[in-house]
């Protein structure tokens, strides 16, 4: 066999080995991933309850309005407040509302920065004591909750603090980390609910996709301590930097 043929043979073997090794690492990477069955954006929400019910005489906000802590939401003329005052009680203003003793009015205020997402206290309407009058979605608190159906061995590989990838409807991806895991087991299958935090999801540039209820997809990276873990991570990082993944 000539040297040229030997070189071709060796080169061919090297190429085959590289292809096999790459495919092995890619398959191992796929085995380290779990894909959500259902996922959506959620956020912290605060209910505005009526300590004093009555007729709404002034409405300062509408659904979709952004508010800051301390902003007025609505003013209520409260018969309950007037009765308390006439009975010698001494109600006081709080962070959530201001009391006008002279006119028997209660002005409710926002206690957090956010967006008004529901509003029941419309001007001219009546709200009872203890009713939910509005709901404010706190700004900058978005995260993702996702559902997974996994065999027990894969559920055991979900680690708090582990990596996650969030796929938005516009095909943009946002990195995240696992913050909480809960599970119910049915028929030997783990139905896991995973919360994923992603600071980049809270940016104003993603307003069209980070609203509560927005559908997303989540891919988890499962824990892998096998001999291929290191090489697989190296390959995936290289592909990511090269723009392939």
Residue 91 burial (CB count, 10 A) = 16
Position with higher pLDDT, 163 vs 19: 163
Query: Strands 126-127, 38-42: parallel, antiparallel or unpaired by DSSP?
Result: unpaired
Backbone angles phi, psi at 153, to 5 degrees: -65, -35
Q: What is the mean pLDDT of the chain?
A: 83
Please determine, for residue 28, whether its predicted confidence score (pLDDT) is greater than 70.
no
For position 5, what pLDDT does the model report?
Answer: 64
For position 17, what pLDDT does the model report?
Answer: 59
Cα torsion 11, 13, 16, 18: sign: negative
How remote is the C-alpha of 153 from its chain's centroid? 26
- Tokens representing 186 are 């049915």
For position 148, what pLDDT does the model report?
Answer: 94
pLDDT confidence bin for 153, thresholds 50/70/90: confident
Position with higher pLDDT, 75 vs 231: 75
- High-pLDDT (> 70) share of the chain, %: 78
Domain 31-43+141-241 maps to which CATH number in 3.40.630.30, 2.40.30.170, 3.40.50.2300, 3.10.20.740? 2.40.30.170
pTM over 0.75: no
Q: Quick: pLDDT tens for 125-136.
A: 999 988 999 999
d(Cα 33, Cα 157) in Å, to the nearest integer?
A: 10
For position 20, what pLDDT does the model report?
Answer: 52
CA angle 86, 87, 93 (to 5 degrees): 75
Backbone angles phi, psi at 230, to 5 degrees: -65, -55
For position 104, what pLDDT does the model report?
Answer: 92
Position with higher pLDDT, 33 vs 57: 57
For position 185, what pLDDT does the model report?
Answer: 86
Pick from 181, 131, 133, 127: which is nearest to 154 by CA?
181
Q: Does domain 51-130 have CATH number 2.40.50.100?
A: yes
Cα torsion 207, 211, 214, 219: sign: positive
Q: Where do we find the tokens 């409260």?
A: 78
Long-range contacts of the stretch 173-176 (C-beta < 8 A, 24+)? 174/198, 174/200, 174/201, 174/206, 175/200, 176/144, 176/201, 176/218
Domain edges within the chain: 31-43+141-241, 51-130
Please determine, for residue 110, whether its predicted confidence score (pLDDT) is greater than 90.
yes
Largest CA distance in the chain: 112
């Amino acid at each position: 066999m000539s040297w040229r043929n030997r070189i071709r043979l060796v080169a061919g073997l090297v190429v085959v080995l590289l292809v096999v090794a790459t495919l092995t690492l890619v398959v191992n990477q796929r085995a380290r991933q779990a894909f959500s069955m259902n996922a959506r954006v959620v956020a912290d929400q605060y209910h505005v309850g009526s300590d004093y019910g009555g007729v709404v005489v002034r409405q300062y906000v509408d659904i979709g309005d952004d508010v800051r802590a301390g902003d007025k939401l609505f003013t209520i003329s409260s018969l309950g407040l007037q009765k308390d005052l006439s009975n010698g009680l001494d109600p006081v203003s709080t962070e959530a509302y201001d009391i006008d003793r002279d006119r028997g009015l209660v002005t409710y205020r926002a206690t957090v920065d956010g967006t008004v997402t529901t509003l029941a206290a419309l001007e001219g309407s009546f709200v009872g004591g203890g009713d939910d009058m509005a709901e404010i979605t706190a700004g900058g608190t978005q995260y993702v909750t996702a559902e997974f159906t996994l065999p027990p061995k894969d559920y055991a590989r979900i680690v708090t603090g582990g990596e996650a990838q969030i796929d938005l409807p516009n095909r943009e991806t946002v990195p995240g980390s696992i913050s909480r895991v809960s599970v119910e087991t049915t028929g030997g299958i783990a139905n896991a609910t995973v919360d994923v935090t992603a600071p980049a999801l809270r940016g104003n540039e993603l307003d069209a996709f980070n609203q509560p209820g927005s559908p997303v997809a989540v891919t988890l990276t499962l824990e892998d301590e096998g001999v291929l873990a290191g090489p697989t991570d190296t390959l995936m990082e290289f592909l990511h930097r090269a723009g392939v993944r």
